Amino acid sequence: MYNVGDKVVYPMHGAGVIDSIEEKEVLGEKQSYYILKMPGEVKVMVPTSTAEKHGIRNIIDKAEAEKVFNVLEQDETEMEKNWNKRYRDNMEKMKSGDIYEIADVVRNLSFKQKEKGLSTGEKKMLHNAKQILVSELVLAEHASEDEVEELVDNKINTSFAMFKTETNIEVTTGSIVNKFIPFEDESNNT
């Protein structure tokens, strides 16, 4: 059971604050609802009796927020090559409501965007995942949205530069000519 003023996460929507607990009649059934105030002045109603089933949880604390930033500083995890499968996998991570899984999606898609670009669907997914991530970190870090977004971007840019630049250097320093079978010198055959 949560109380008014508690900071909670609602999967696929992000973090918010319980603004009130109200008795409402919906579809002829009277029950108690958490009224969540979400970023952008959005209000969401969640039945108190099924809140846990819907994935409502307390926000992370400052120590857990540091672990989230550590996820953003790591190299990308292996993703499915097939776009549809990768999209479904990332959607499952987001639906889980697990902040570390969401951070993984944000980092992986950010890396992919920097390397090759993203499809429209994955761009939207990255935007949504980042909003969900930032909304929770804002409450956990007691910081502004701009400060947290900048911090997230800096962590991703730093890890991308560290992990992807090393890979690019290895590829470019090896001569591509060495990868092919050399032609025999025809002048020696006469």
Q: What is the mean pLDDT of residues 54-82?
A: 94
- For the chain, the average pLDDT equals 88
pLDDT bucket at 39, cuts 50 / 70 / 90: confident
Phi, psi torsion values for 118, nearest 5 degrees: -125, 155
CATH topology (fold) of 7-58: Thrombin, subunit H (2.40.10)
- Sheet containing 7-10: order of strands: 42-47, 29-38, 14-26, 7-10, 57-58
Q: What is the mean pLDDT of residues 139-157?
A: 96
Which of 42-46, 61-65, 79-83, 120-124 comes out lowest in average pLDDT? Answer: 79-83
Is 175 buried (19+), middle (13-18) or exposed (0-12) by CB count in 10 A?
exposed
∠ Cα 13 94 109 (to 5°): 115
pLDDT bucket at 169, cuts 50 / 70 / 90: very low
Q: What percent of the chain has pLDDT over 70?
A: 87
Q: Could you tell me where the beta strands, DSSP code E, fall in 41-175?
A: 42-47, 57-58
Report the pLDDT value the prediction gives residue 178, as an integer from 0 to 100.
Answer: 40
Inter-residue long-range contacts of 101-105, CB under 8 Å, 24+ positions, other chains counted: 102/129, 102/132, 102/133, 103/68, 103/71, 103/72, 103/133, 104/71, 104/77, 105/129
CATH architecture of the domain with range 62-173: Up-down Bundle (1.20)
pLDDT at residue 179 tops 50: no
pTM given for the model: 0.83
Report the pLDDT value the prediction gives residue 121, as an integer from 0 to 100.
Answer: 94
SS3 81: coil
Which segments of the chain belong to CATH 2.40.10.170? 7-58
Beta-bridge partner residues of 14: 10
Which segments of the chain belong to CATH 1.20.58.1290? 62-173
Are the C-beta atoms of residues 128 and 94 closer than 8 Å to each other?
A: yes
